[in-house]
Amino acid sequence: QPLNHKEAVKWLHQASVGGHVRAQYQLALCLHQGLGVEQNLQEAVKWYLKAAEGGYVRAMYNASLCYTFGEGLSHSRRQARKWMKRAADRGHGKAQFEHGLALFSEGELLKAIVYLELATRSGETAATHVKNAILQQLSATSRDLALLLTDNWRALPSSR
């Protein structure tokens, strides 16, 4: 039988109002994509932010993208960076890659290496190329320090 998206959205909404962060994220996705409900970017962002504030890493990443592109709310570079860093610090590979790129563009080479190496280790192959280009600019001591920092890095807790 085909999925009843409207029924699913009804249950997701109930769970979301009850504080279930994964349901909040799933509801935000439905609202963002117009799946089982009319597309509503402002409402989607509201639920992304609730889930992000509840510790849901994917919601942090999506909230960052909404701030970056001004989807459902006003564009805010500061808020985009805040949520991207939070997702990166909790182990989200794409967020680690994007945060590493932002650090690189600001000249924070050691920090950029750490996030790009973490992204590489999580399977973001594009991060490898950028990381290697930066490593060539650093002294052997700085390269060793960056990789030592990466090896000692631990993700912050999240609700995934």
Query: Is 160 inside a domain boundary?
Result: no
Largest separation between any pair of C-alpha atoms in the chain: 61
Residue 52 has φ and ψ, to the nearest 5°, of -65, -45
- pLDDT tens digits for range 73-115: 999 999 999 999 999 999 999 999 999 999 999 999 999 999 9
Of the candidates 90, 111, 136, which is a domain's last residue? 90
Per-residue pLDDT averaged across 123-152, rounded?
94
CA–CA dist 112, 104 (Å, integer): 5
Burial class (CB in 10 A: 0-12, 13-18, 19+), 48: buried
Q: What is the distance, to the nearest Å, from the Cα of residue 31 to the centroid of all Cα atoms in its chain?
A: 18
The pLDDT assigned to 152 comes to: 94
Lowest model confidence (mean pLDDT) among 1-5, 27-31, 66-70, 152-156:
1-5
Q: Count structural domains, the chain.
A: 2
The pLDDT assigned to 72 comes to: 96
- pLDDT tens digits for range 22-40: 999 999 999 999 999 999 9
Query: Is 42 inside a domain boundary?
Result: yes
Instruction: Say which residue the tokens 């994220």 belong to.
Output: 25
Look at residue 3 and tell me whether its pLDDT is greater than 90. Answer: no
Range of the domain at 13: 5-90
| 86 and 100 assigned to the same domain | no
| 145 and 108 assigned to the same domain | yes
Mean pLDDT of the chain: 95
- Phi/psi class of residue 89: alpha, beta or left (left: φ > 0; alpha: ψ in -120 to 50)? alpha
Q: Could you tell me the pTM of the whole model?
A: 0.92
Query: Is 157 inside a domain boundary?
Result: no
Of the candidates 90, 119, 140, which is a domain's last residue? 90
